Amino acid sequence: MSQNNLAANLRSYQGIYPAMGLRNYIDASAVMVGDITLADDVSIWPLVAARGDVNTITIGARSNIQDGTVLHVTRKSEHNPLGNPLVIGEDVTVGHKCMLHGCTLGDRILVGMGAIIMDGAVVENDVFIGAGSLVPPNKTLKSGYLYVGNPVKQARKLKESEASFLRQSALNYIDLKNDYLSDSCE
């Protein structure tokens, strides 16, 4: 990606710009504002909106945030002194048109298309969240399960093939973002 695209995509809020790791891909139509930190090999796809204005957003290595997803946070207040930052772990795949708001995601998670994860929710490692699911505020999703529904419910233990796919999904997106980075260098 050219420096011109980065300048348009990465915007400051109160003098704080997003911080980039190595080999990141950020689509030209994505917008990232404020206190956002990306680890290495993260990909941000078309029409993602990420606002680290009233708290922080952290995205772990090899994670991908797909088209149309909204990432935001909860401000600090008298009743919630730390607010709710958005923390996304490593090897996480966030499907198209998701909304993640002030929640914490562990490692090796797949968030299905259109899912919503609300303030204070915690998703432990190795979890599948079905498309269109709603994770209510302050709910914890335990490691090793498939969750579906609105509100989300634990459906069943992950099959071994599903658990191994969580890491593979992230690796697939690393290959794809590397292709996009190669095209932008030509």
pTM attached to this predicted model: 0.94
Domains and CATH numbers, the chain: 3-185 (2.160.10.10)
CB 103 within 8 A of CB 123: yes
Burial class for 74, CB neighbours closer than 10 Å (0-12, 13-18, 19+): buried
Q: What is the pLDDT of residue 4?
A: 38
The bridge status of strand 153-157 relative to strand 145-148 is: antiparallel
Report d(CA 123, CA 144) in Å as an integer: 10
CA angle at residue 21 from 114 to 121, to 5 degrees? 35
* Percent of the chain predicted with pLDDT > 90: 93
pLDDT mean over 135-155: 98
| pLDDT of residue 10 exceeding 60 | yes
| pLDDT of residue 48 exceeding 70 | yes
Q: What is the pLDDT of residue 1?
A: 40
